[in-house]
A and B are shown apart, each in its own frame.
Chain A
Amino acid sequence: MEINGFLHPAVAFIALAMALPFFRGEHWKWLLLVPPVIAIVVVFTATMGEFGVIPYLGNTLILGRVDKLSLVFANVFAIQSLIGMIYALHMKDKAHHASAALYVAGSFGCVFAGDYLTLFIFWELMAVASTFLVWLHRTKTSSAAGYRYFLFHMLGGLFLLGGLLLRYHEIGTFAFLPVDPASVQYYDWLILIGFCVNAAVVPLHAWLPDAYPEATIPGAVFMCAFTTKTAVYVLARGFSGVYILAVAGTFMAVYGVLYASMENNARRILSYHIVSQVGYMVAGIGIGTALCLNGAVAHAYAHILYKGLLFMSVGTILYAVGTADLDKLGGLVGKLPWLVILYMVGAVSISGMPFFNGFISKTMTITGAAESHNMWIAIGLEIAAVGTFLSVGIKLPYFAFFNKPAKPGLKLNPIPKNMYVAMAISAILCFAQGVYPQMLYSLLPFPVEYTPYTPWHLLQSAMLLAFTGAGFWIMRKIIVPHHGRNLDFDKLYRLIGRTGISLVCRPIAWADSVWTTVYRVVGLKGLMDFAAGSSWFDRKGIDTVVDGTAYTVRDIGRTGAKMQTGRLQDYLGLTVFIALCIFGLVWYLG
């Protein structure tokens, strides 16, 4: 849809998804790269303004609100969609590519939506399409996890729908505008809850570490980039300065690293770190100063790149070895050295090591929190920074790559080159933004007044990371990963679900039991008596009349037959007898 010079990137991805079933041959896979390239061209050439304004039922739908905030998210979405498609090029499953394309289309639709109704439609498209990225892994656990993921996102969508309809009822518009933090209305809270589900705000987060580790390998790469970051965008757009988000974000940041420190599955470790890293963004949005908002947006941008790289690296381990459980891995550094290097670029980026993009964005958010006198929030984010390096920067690579020799006779599945190409692009971007932060600054919604590369910032970061390494070395025999699944809020959801079902089912079962008794005592007995009466009437009434008539006719017939002997003298005698009877009757009556 070209609208006054703005080609909505979602259109290209939807067109790809619809055309995929008709592609034949082997070269169709190269067409997967066309929509991302179109999206990149669009975001780098787009002009600010509102496009695709559609009157609808007395309201206005805006498909293309293009401004600094939407463009920065669209920018990184476009780049990551290209990286994701390159990573998935070797896959022949068209359904997977179509799901990924629709998912990306949904995220572009959300980012450019200027009204809640348009946002909701693309929001749900994302939820449905991403569910297929879990289901298409085609395992028993992925089916179950995908179902739970779908249910939870439908619940979040219902909160959003309820909120936007009530908001429309109250103020008569679907326009997606910032709320006043001083007067958040009840319908705003409903919308906020819907957003918080997708942002994985604790305790609404458990769908994420439940579903992402079960998704397909490229599917997890897409999912780690789009769902939570779309939610970060809408929070930044609509709820900046709502302080409860600052507290919730800090809690997320710490909660995620605590769980990651005891996890065994590498993809689940990374999933918990999404919760943690998104916590930084949510905290920055909640504080709401220009520096914090810049930090949150910059962190979202950087996070998409380095988290995508980490999920690609760990996905490659899963592809090559067949498992992502740390207790089953080890010694891969000798067999997959380039993968180790690429993984470590992502790991040091997420850990905020100087000269990588995480350092720019993370310190910006923390400094913003500290400068706005939110000391405890800043301390919480520093604790999360330590935990991040501990788990993703040291623990995961140590137990996957370094701690012991590789298993004798370990056979690795050959890794397609396109996977390495995708990871290399991500790694280059993580490093480039780290050494040249202006790449990132030029995209941010507010002018940047922050200098990351000061001697103190460098020394502080180096001390944090190095002494975290020392802490790991002290605790290396305790932090050993163990096979098992740690209890989280998803178990609570299931408990609530089962309790809810039993709360509904038990009264229904009781009412059903009472009704059964009443029916048996009253209804069934009455029915039986009625049946007995009907049976009696049938026997005594219907049968008597019908059978009696039949018997009479039969007897008359038999008598008549007996009387027809064929002899003339019998007929004459009978005639005389009848004549005498008639004569006697006449004489008697006369």
Chain B
Amino acid sequence: MNSSLGNWFETQRTKNLATWKWAFIVFLVVLVVLNFFIHPHHPEYVLDKYTGFWAIFALVVSVGMVFMMKVIVQPFLVGPEEDDGN
């Protein structure tokens, strides 16, 4: 059972990866389309009354966070692990 489930996951990870990518893209589009019809009753942040605000927010924050921490900040902070010498 462990093996068959593992094989199924391996298949999704390799052969069916393109299918999952397209499914994901369709899912993103569906969410934005839904946002045209579903809005907050009382916008809490002013801007969230606009369609797609949270989509853009998440995209910008995630990309910006990775860029800031991995490209700009980490080179100044990273050092060897303490057990590297063991």
Interface residues of A (CB under 8 A from B): 139-141, 144, 257-259, 261-262, 333-338, 340, 367, 370-371, 375, 378-379, 382-383, 386-387, 390, 402, 455-456, 459-460, 462-472, 474-475, 478-479, 482-488
Complex: how many Å from CA A168 to CA B68? 48
Chain B neighbourhood of A475, CB < 8 A = 62-63, 66-67, 70
Interface residues of B (CB under 8 A from A): 2, 5-10, 13, 24, 27-28, 31-32, 34-35, 38-41, 44-45, 48, 54-63, 65-71, 73-74, 76-83, 86
Chain B neighbourhood of A336, CB < 8 A = 6
Chain B neighbourhood of A471, CB < 8 A = 58-63, 66
Q: Contact at A334–B6, with CB atoms within 8 Å?
A: yes
Q: Contact at B10–A486, with CB atoms within 8 Å?
A: no
Instruction: Give the nearest-CB partner of A258 in chain B.
Output: B69
Complex: how many Å from CA A371 to CA B24? 33
Instruction: Give the nearest-CB partner of A484 in chain B.
Output: B78
The 5 tightest CB contacts between A and B, nearest first, are A471-B62, A467-B58, A370-B44, A337-B5, A475-B66
Q: Which of A465, A483, A488 contacts B81 (CB 8 A)?
A: A483
Q: Contact at A258–B9, with CB atoms within 8 Å?
A: no
Q: Contact at B66–A478, with CB atoms within 8 Å?
A: yes
Q: Contact at B28–A466, with CB atoms within 8 Å?
A: yes
Chain B neighbourhood of A485, CB < 8 A = 78-82
For the A-B complex with A456-B41, A475-B70, A478-B70 known, give 20 more contacts whose Cβ atoms are closer than 8 Å.
A333-B10, A334-B10, A336-B6, A337-B8, A387-B62, A459-B34, A460-B48, A463-B32, A463-B58, A465-B58, A466-B28, A467-B56, A471-B60, A471-B66, A474-B63, A478-B67, A485-B78, A485-B79, A485-B82, A487-B76
Chain A neighbourhood of B58, CB < 8 A = 386, 463-468, 470-471
Q: Contact at B69–A462, with CB atoms within 8 Å?
A: no
Is chain A's binding surface mostly helix, strand, loop or mixed? helix
Q: Contact at B65–A258, with CB atoms within 8 Å?
A: yes
Instruction: Give the nearest-CB partner of A325 in chain B.
Output: B81
Q: Contact at B61–A387, with CB atoms within 8 Å?
A: yes
Chain A neighbourhood of B59, CB < 8 A = 467-468, 470-471
Supposing A258-B69, A334-B6, A459-B35 touch, asked if A375 and B45 sit within 8 A by C-beta, the answer is yes
Give A35 Cβ to nearest chain B Cβ, in Å: 33
Chain A neighbourhood of B31, CB < 8 A = 459, 462-463, 466-467
Give A441 Cβ to nearest chain B Cβ, in Å: 22
Chain A neighbourhood of B71, CB < 8 A = 478
A-B contact pairs, 18 of them (CB 8 A): A144-B82, A258-B65, A262-B70, A334-B13, A336-B6, A390-B65, A390-B66, A456-B39, A466-B24, A466-B27, A466-B31, A467-B28, A467-B54, A467-B55, A471-B60, A471-B62, A478-B66, A485-B78
Q: Contact at B54–A460, with CB atoms within 8 Å?
A: yes
Give A370 Cβ to nearest chain B Cβ, in Å: 4
Q: Contact at A337–B6, with CB atoms within 8 Å?
A: yes
Complex: how many Å from CA A207 to CA B59? 32
Supposing A262-B73, A463-B55, A471-B58 touch, asked if A484 and B81 sit within 8 A by C-beta, the answer is yes
Supposing A334-B7, A470-B28 touch, asked if A390 and B82 sit within 8 A by C-beta, the answer is no
Q: Contact at B65–A257, with CB atoms within 8 Å?
A: yes
Complex: how many Å from CA A335 to CA B6? 6
Chain B neighbourhood of A259, CB < 8 A = 69
Q: Contact at A139–B83, with CB atoms within 8 Å?
A: yes
Q: Contact at B65–A375, with CB atoms within 8 Å?
A: no
Complex: how many Å from CA A452 to CA B51? 21
Complex: how many Å from CA A259 to CA B69? 8
Q: Contact at A379–B80, with CB atoms within 8 Å?
A: no
Q: Which of B41, B60, B78 contacts A486 (CB 8 A)?
A: B78
Chain B neighbourhood of A141, CB < 8 A = 82-83, 86
**Residue of A367, A459, A467, A468 ringed by the most chain B CB atoms within 10 A:** A467
**Residue of A259, A334, A462, A464 ringed by the most chain B CB atoms within 10 A:** A334
**Residue of B40, B55, B62 ringed by the most chain A CB atoms within 10 A:** B62
Q: Contact at B41–A386, with CB atoms within 8 Å?
A: no
Chain B neighbourhood of A468, CB < 8 A = 58-59, 61-62
Q: Contact at A333–B13, with CB atoms within 8 Å?
A: yes
Q: Contact at B57–A382, with CB atoms within 8 Å?
A: yes
Q: Which of B45, B70, B81, B83 contacts A379 (CB 8 A)?
A: B45
Complex: how many Å from CA A340 to CA B2? 11
Q: Which of B27, B32, B70 contacts A479 (CB 8 A)?
A: B70
Give B44 Cβ to nearest chain A Cβ, in Å: 4
Supposing A144-B82, A335-B6, A459-B35 touch, asked if A402 and B13 sit within 8 A by C-beta, the answer is yes
Q: Contact at B44–A378, with CB atoms within 8 Å?
A: yes
Complex: how many Å from CA A474 to CA B66? 10
Instruction: Give the nearest-CB partner of A340 in chain B.
Output: B9
Q: Contact at A337–B65, with CB atoms within 8 Å?
A: no
Complex: how many Å from CA A383 to CA B55? 12
Chain A neighbourhood of B54, CB < 8 A = 460, 463-464, 467
Q: Contact at A487–B65, with CB atoms within 8 Å?
A: no
Instruction: Give the nearest-CB partner of A386 in chain B.
Output: B61
Chain B neighbourhood of A261, CB < 8 A = 65-66, 69-70
Q: Contact at B69–A383, with CB atoms within 8 Å?
A: no
Give B32 Cβ to nearest chain A Cβ, in Å: 8
Give B25 Cβ to nearest chain A Cβ, in Å: 9
Chain B neighbourhood of A390, CB < 8 A = 62, 65-66
Give B3 Cβ to nearest chain A Cβ, in Å: 9
Chain A neighbourhood of B10, CB < 8 A = 333-334
Supposing A334-B7, A467-B55, A475-B62 touch, asked if A370 and B45 sit within 8 A by C-beta, the answer is yes
Q: Contact at B66–A333, with CB atoms within 8 Å?
A: no
Q: Contact at B77–A486, with CB atoms within 8 Å?
A: yes
Give B80 Cβ to nearest chain A Cβ, in Å: 6
Q: Contact at A467–B62, with CB atoms within 8 Å?
A: yes
Give A273 Cβ to nearest chain B Cβ, in Å: 14
Instruction: Give the nearest-CB partner of B4 in chain A.
Output: A337
Q: Contact at A140–B74, with CB atoms within 8 Å?
A: no
Chain B neighbourhood of A470, CB < 8 A = 24, 28, 58-59, 62
Complex: how many Å from CA A531 to CA B72? 71
